[in-house]
């Protein structure tokens, strides 16, 4: 049976990262009462005004997100904010470690081989850019929290999602794609 969250199956963390943090829902997702959504570690709560604009991101370039928990800036997550502040940058997406680890196609390519080794070959229908986005999100979580497993759920800030989406855009809209592994 097709798993709705098949693209994140290898993240033992289905309960760690909210899948809809990553991608606009392609199919109806059980957002309302899913266990994964029953709690968040953010303080954004139900501030639906965040869906109307991106002022909460304080000038950082983010897309308007589709759900409230997604509308969080890197400065609102204490651990990320600490790294950001220590590096004297405005946004975590300017951090060289982010650029090297999450946006560099050569780095992501090697991670993809590890992914394939543990998960089996990619589905022919799986857009390659989506795979790269997924791997980039995983690497971001690993960079910040040092593990993908147990513990509190990890929220990926909108600026990070936006940046990764801009580098690995949906093939559906842009027609642009990186080569698939052979
Ligand atoms: Zn940011």
How is the chain split into domains, by residue range? Answer: 6-174
Q: Is the pLDDT of residue 12 over 50?
A: no
For residue 4, give the DSSP letter: T
Residue 154: strand, helix, or coil: strand
Distance, in Å, from the CA atom of 23 to the CA atom of 117, rounded to the nearest integer, reads: 24
Interval between CA 114 and ligand 1 midpoint (Å): 28
Q: Is the pLDDT of residue 4 over 50?
A: no
What is the largest distance, in Å, between two alpha-carbon atoms of the chain?
47
Q: Is the pLDDT of residue 3 over 90?
A: no
Distance, in Å, from the CA atom of 128 to the CA atom of 149, rounded to the nearest integer, reads: 24
Q: Once rounded to an integer, what is the mean pLDDT over residues 22-36?
A: 39
Backbone angles phi, psi at 24, to 5 degrees: -65, 135
Distance, in Å, from the CA atom of 162 to the CA atom of 65, rounded to the nearest integer, reads: 9
Contact 93, 113 (CB under 8 A): no
State the pLDDT confidence band at 19, using cuts at 50, 70 and 90: very low
Kindly report the pTM of this predicted structure: 0.63
| pLDDT tens per residue across span 53-108 | 665 565 555 655 555 555 578 888 899 999 999 999 999 999 999 999 999 999 99
- The conformational region for residue 53 under phi > 0 = left, psi -120 to 50 = alpha, else beta, is beta
Interval between CA 119 and ligand 1 midpoint (Å): 31
Interval between CA 87 and ligand 1 midpoint (Å): 13
Contact 19, 126 (CB under 8 A): no
Interval between CA 89 and ligand 1 midpoint (Å): 9
Q: What is the pLDDT of residue 73?
A: 83
The more confident residue out of 14 and 159 is 159
Interval between CA 118 and ligand 1 midpoint (Å): 31
Q: Is the pLDDT of residue 17 over 60?
A: no
Q: Is the pLDDT of residue 161 over 70?
A: yes
Q: Is the pLDDT of residue 32 over 60?
A: no
| pLDDT tens per residue across span 100-155 | 999 999 999 999 999 999 989 998 888 999 999 999 999 999 999 998 865 556 77
Contact 133, 34 (CB under 8 A): no
Query: How far is C-alpha 137 from the chain's CA centre?
Result: 4
Sign of the CA dihedral 26, 6, 112, 41?
positive
Question: What separation in angstroms does the CA of 106 have from each of 88, 132, 151?
Answer: 27, 11, 30
Interval between CA 75 and ligand 1 midpoint (Å): 6
Interval between CA 92 and ligand 1 midpoint (Å): 5
């Amino acid at each position: 049976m097709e798993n709705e969250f098949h693209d994140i199956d290898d993240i033992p963390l289905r309960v760690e990262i909210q899948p809809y943090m990553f991608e606009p829902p392609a199919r109806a997702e059980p957002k309302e009462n899913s266990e994964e959504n029953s709690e968040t570690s953010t303080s954004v709560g139900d501030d639906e005004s965040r869906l109307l604009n991106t002022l909460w991101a304080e000038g950082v370039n983010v897309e308007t997100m589709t759900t409230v928990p997604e509308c969080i800036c890197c400065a609102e997550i204490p651990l990320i904010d600490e790294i950001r502040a220590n590096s004297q940058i405005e946004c975590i997406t300017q951090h060289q470690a982010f650029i090297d680890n999450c946006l560099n196609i050569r780095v992501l390519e090697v991670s993809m081989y590890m992914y394939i080794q543990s998960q089996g070959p990619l589905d022919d229908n799986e857009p390659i850019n989506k795979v790269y986005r997924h791997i980039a999100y995983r690497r971001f979580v690993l960079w910040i929290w040092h593990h993908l497993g147990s513990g509190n759920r990890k929220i990926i800030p909108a600026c990070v999602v936006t940046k990764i989406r801009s580098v690995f855009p949906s093939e559906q809209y842009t027609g642009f794609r990186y080569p698939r592994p052979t």
